[in-house]
Structure 1
Amino acid sequence: MANFLFFTISLCMLLTFGIIEAAPKDALITHLPGFNGTFPSKHYAGYVTNINNKNKNNNGGKKLFYYFVESERKAWKDPVVLWLNGGPGCSSMDGFVYEHGPFTFEEGKPKGSLPRLRLNPYSWSKVSNIIYLDSPAGVGFSYWKYSSTRTTGDIETASDTHEFLLKWFKQFPEFISNPFYISGESYAGIYVPTLASEVIKGIKNGVKPIINFKGYMVGNGVTDGKFDGNALVPFAHGMSLISNNIFEQVHSSCKGNYDNPVGKSCNQNLQLVYAAIDGLNVYDILEPCYHAPGTQGNTSLPLSFQQLGESERPLPVRKRIFGRAWPFRAPVRDGLVPLWPQLSQGISVPCVNDEVATIWLNNKEVRDAIHAKPPSVTGGPWVLCTGAIHYEHDAGSMIPYHKNLTLQGYRALIYSGDHDMCVPFTGTQEWTRSLGYKIVDEWRSWHSKGQVAGYLQGYDNNLTFLTVKGSGHTVPEYKPQEALDFYRRWLEGKPI
């Protein structure tokens, strides 16, 4: 602690007298095409380069893209939060443009011009500094030179992202003393705890700069093959998507093991479950499913971007890709994780329309404004989720990671949109309970706008499980005000 205080005081003195220059000037964003107005805080974007220089397959070719938004409140003291979208293979600009970034798109399909932006009243930058990172290399605007294989995995991604953070804080030294949190959703349920473990290891080993890490947050996160894989059937039954008879048949024949079904009877009864939920929007069972003309509402028929027609609602309508054949038959297992474009031969996910972001982020003026390299350098246009890398799930279950992190005193908020069928809350509720921690805040409702917004259960060792009522897979997109409410309260250490 004394060393950290000395480092912080010394850093402040160096910044004050101009010996260290704060925030690289060439990363500052001065305007954004499609937005007319004044930024509510400073924005920066660019690359941290030569990540994982010692990787024999890399030769210093990894270039990780970030977009950094300073807090609109007190940037000099508010927490710094890293945001990671999942996939694996999905861009964190997804979170920036569709979830909790400083802007939202104006509704309506663009007609020969760029989509228009307006300020987001529920941006997480209202209460925190936030870094949106495209990770791993090869995702979004990040790219990977000098390698033909572009193979990575959980462990290497955590190591690369830790290196990114160390280099980023050297570029933005004025933020090194701020409380730091790691957050993300979906497959970032793997990214977040593995990265947190790397950060802690670096702190213990005295790696400079010393990051002021305080905790982490995961939304609808992939965690454990058994718990995630067995979550769908009880979720479908509890949501009245399958009958009591179907549930009793599948429960009896599978003996509660839906993740790795054994026997003809179990498999036949599981088909009844899949048939019953066919046609639903997997990312939010309450939302309509976007269909292109001619698909007849069959969610087994993905859409290509070129096929997009008029949606049932004004744009932006899109519920994001998970990156694997979720949720029915493929909880994440060890080994190669097929990305969605690889599974579907380059076509998109059912129920999804990400047209607006694709148009805006592939505009040359926009890319220039945010300092993103051209497609000729990054390997192609920006896509929501890439199929251009090979990704290995090599970290196993996240439950030991969570236990290790929370037993060391780091704060953890695990939240779930309760109408997500992609990573159902039923599995998340079960694995948090499986840690065996004492309940210190009994199951209760929490409120936003004077209304019940969800439920939570608080455990010993700073672990909280929270649901968001009526939300789908990407909570800040479906319930932006509620998301900002619990985010602010949790960061401030106040009761939710």
Structure 2
Amino acid sequence: MASSPCSISSATCLSLTLFLLFSCSFSAALRYQPSSPSQLKLVSPAAKGAGQAERMIRSLNLFPKHEANIVSNDTSGDDDVHQQRISEKRFSFNVSGGPGPSIQQFGHYAGYYSLPDTKGAKMFYFFFESRVNNTNAPVVIWLTGGPGCASELALFYENGPFKITEDMALQWNDYGWDQASNILYVDQPTGTGFSYTTDDSDIRHDETGVSNDLYNFLQQFFKGHSKYAGNDFYITGESYAGHYIPALASRIFKGNQNKEGIHINMKGFAIGNGLTDPAFQYKAYPEFALAAKLISQSDRDSIASELVPPCESAIAGCSPQSEDSCEEALYTCNQIFQSILQIAGNINYYDIRKQCEGQLCYDFSRMENFLGEDTVKSALGVKDDIDFVSCSSEVYDAMMGDWMIDYETGIPALLESGVKVLIYAGEYDLICNWLGNSNWVNGMKWSGQSKFQAAPNVPFVAGNAKSGELKSYGPLAFLKVYNAGHMVPMDQPKVALQMLQGWMQGKLA
């Protein structure tokens, strides 16, 4: 497996561990002597997200004006808007390329949802009707990770209907997921992207708040788009969405059981290169790094014996009732990841095949520039005084106590009820690597566990090419995607679209 060192400075490369969009790991300020893991020292245990997150965001060529979208005066909170909850408008962008459908053939919508039980929070979203069959196609929601990064990152760089070209024009994405579904992109938690609030007490700090907001939004969305309310519904996303997705799926399941409102026809959820069960995933770092030839056997042995046990103990002490214990587990366990980085050098740990260019490992500035244009904001119904916050350091910091909590625990009940679960991972991602994800999926206790463990790995073929390895039994599937890093839909867009289509149709294998 090839690995390429980043060409940026060591400090900048390490700060990328805080990458809000994708991170499975938090970068405490560490100093490591590769010859002896016992010399690993936590230089600044009190270091938290905001300062390092800001440096990380700059290294990605993103320059949000605010740490979170908090406005002092929101005139859109009038009674008529608040009462209807959702304020939505249809928009039209000039899109080049082809053959592509006319914008008149289907709907592109942007809107705000006024969140209940908040001081003044409004959630921004995009909704794209399917290019193929906008009446019967499933409804898919995509959740970008972070925590604290906007859904537009996926929309414009991964699986949305169009992409931004170098000259700041829009071009149809031949492999957008709107080819197979009606798709929602949501800026969440509050303060992210174009979502905003009038009071920072509305910033969420756990999955209860996040999942309730999303559930309430979906209730109102299907009320306003009733023709889609009976369609199959799927939850998708990547990275920190490995927390969001199981939490939302459980919330929907509970709401359906209790007949709380509109029945959401949830058929399944898919997590890409996610952080879901930290106990399995942090322990897998040295094994993956050894197999990828990022570290030596002696390094692996030292890390496994000296750093993994304290991490396991810290995770065992992490409880949703004690955010401090979970933050301590975060600092303790990240010594494992940082030790690997210190040995391996300045690798691009979202795709260890690639070198970084100059001071950048990824450049998402086109999205930020495009969404900062007044004409674009006007077309989307975004007020002049709302700026686009590509990644929110405040949201990130607020969620740190949630980081090390295991969200695998709610999945078995969903599997037993027949909800389909797909866990997929690009093979060249280090930070949310396929091995750690495979380990927790195989270790999950449910009635089909032994049969899933015994199931063979079979080729996943996209087009005429072997594109991955698939293991499945009943409603559970795990897919290792070849030639992809952390962002599978960006690295392998054709494969990702076929994966989505096959999975939703029950034809993944």
Tell me whether the two structures share a fold, i.e. TM-score over 0.5: yes
Q: Which residues of 2 match residues 391-430 of structure 1 at below 5 A?
A: 391=399, 393-394=401-402, 396-430=405-439
Q: Is the 8 A contact 1:253 1:269 kept in 2?
A: no
For 1:27, what is the secondary structure of its paired residue? Answer: strand
AA partner of residue 282 (structure 2): G
Q: Is 1:81 the equivalent of 2:140?
A: yes
Rate the CA distance shift 1:75–1:271 in 2: closer, same or farther, 3 A: closer
Q: Is the 8 A contact 2:96 2:172 kept in 1?
A: no
Q: Is the 8 A contact 1:261 1:267 kept in 2?
A: no
Q: For 1:33 and 1:493, how far apart are their aligned partners in 2?
A: 33
Q: Is 1:454 the equivalent of 2:507?
A: no
TM-score when scaled to structure 1?
0.74
Name 1:351's counterpart in structure 2: 361
Structure 2 residue corresponding to 1:48, chosen from 104, 113, 116:
113
Rate the CA distance shift 1:388–1:244 in 2: closer, same or farther, 3 A: closer
User: 1:418 offset after TM fit, Å?
Assistant: 1.1
Q: Which has the higher contact order (CA 8 A, sep 6+)?
A: 2
Equivalent pairs, count: 396
User: 1:272 offset after TM fit, Å?
Assistant: 5.8
Q: Is 1:128 the equivalent of 2:181?
A: yes
Deviations 1:129-172 (A, max 9, x none): 00001111111011112445634321101001100000111111
Structure 2 residue corresponding to 1:62, chosen from 121, 129, 147:
121
AA partner of residue 366 (structure 2): V
Rate the CA distance shift 1:366–1:463 in 2: closer, same or farther, 3 A: same
Higher helix share: 2
Rate the CA distance shift 1:407–1:247 in 2: closer, same or farther, 3 A: same
Q: For 2:380 and 2:258, how far apart are their aligned partners in 1?
A: 35
Structure 2 residue corresponding to 1:276, chosen from 312, 332, 343:
343
Q: Is the 8 A contact 2:190 2:204 kept in 1?
A: no
User: 1:488 offset after TM fit, Å?
Assistant: 0.7
Q: Mean Cα displacement is larger for which, 165-174 or 281-290? A: 281-290
User: 1:35 offset after TM fit, Å?
Assistant: 8.8
Name 2:496's counterpart in structure 1: 483
Q: Structure 2 unaligned runs (5+)?
A: 1-85, 316-332
TM-score when scaled to structure 2?
0.73
AA partner of residue 279 (structure 1): N
AA partner of residue 185 (structure 1): E
Deviations 1:53-95 (A, max 9, x none): 2xxxx23x11111100101111111100011001010101111
Q: Is the 8 A contact 1:217 1:413 kept in 2?
A: yes
For 2:124, what is the secondary structure of its paired residue? Answer: strand
Name 1:297's counterpart in structure 2: none
Name 1:493's counterpart in structure 2: 506
Q: For 1:479 and 1:94, how far apart are their aligned partners in 2?
A: 16
Name 2:388's counterpart in structure 1: 382
For 2:391, what is the secondary structure of its paired residue? Answer: coil
Name 1:189's counterpart in structure 2: 242
Name 1:320's counterpart in structure 2: none
Q: Structure 1 unaligned runs (5+)?
A: 1-23, 293-349
Rate the CA distance shift 1:74–1:228 in 2: closer, same or farther, 3 A: same
For 2:409, what is the secondary structure of its paired residue? Answer: helix
Structure 2 residue corresponding to 1:30, chosen from 92, 101, 111:
92
User: 1:33 offset after TM fit, Å?
Assistant: 8.0
Q: Which residues of 2 match residues 10-409 of structure 1 at below 5 A?
A: 27-32=89-94, 38-39=102-103, 41-49=106-114, 51-53=115-117, 58-59=118-119, 61-106=120-165, 108=166, 110=167, 115-147=168-200, 150-254=203-307, 273-292=340-359, 351-374=361-384, 376=385, 378=386, 381-389=387-395, 390-391=398-399, 393-394=401-402, 396-409=405-418
Q: For 1:28 and 1:72, how far apart are their aligned partners in 2?
A: 16
* RMSD of aligned alpha carbons: 2.7
Q: Is the 8 A contact 2:123 2:188 kept in 1?
A: yes
Q: For 2:336 and 2:420, how far apart are their aligned partners in 1?
A: 41
AA partner of residue 367 (structure 1): K
User: 1:186 offset after TM fit, Å?
Assistant: 0.5
User: 1:183 offset after TM fit, Å?
Assistant: 0.9
State percent identity of aligned pairs: 33
Deviations 1:191-222 (A, max 9, x none): 11101111111111112211111111110111
Q: Is 1:435 the equivalent of 2:444?
A: yes
Q: For 1:271 and 1:394, how far apart are their aligned partners in 2?
A: 20
User: 1:105 offset after TM fit, Å?
Assistant: 2.0
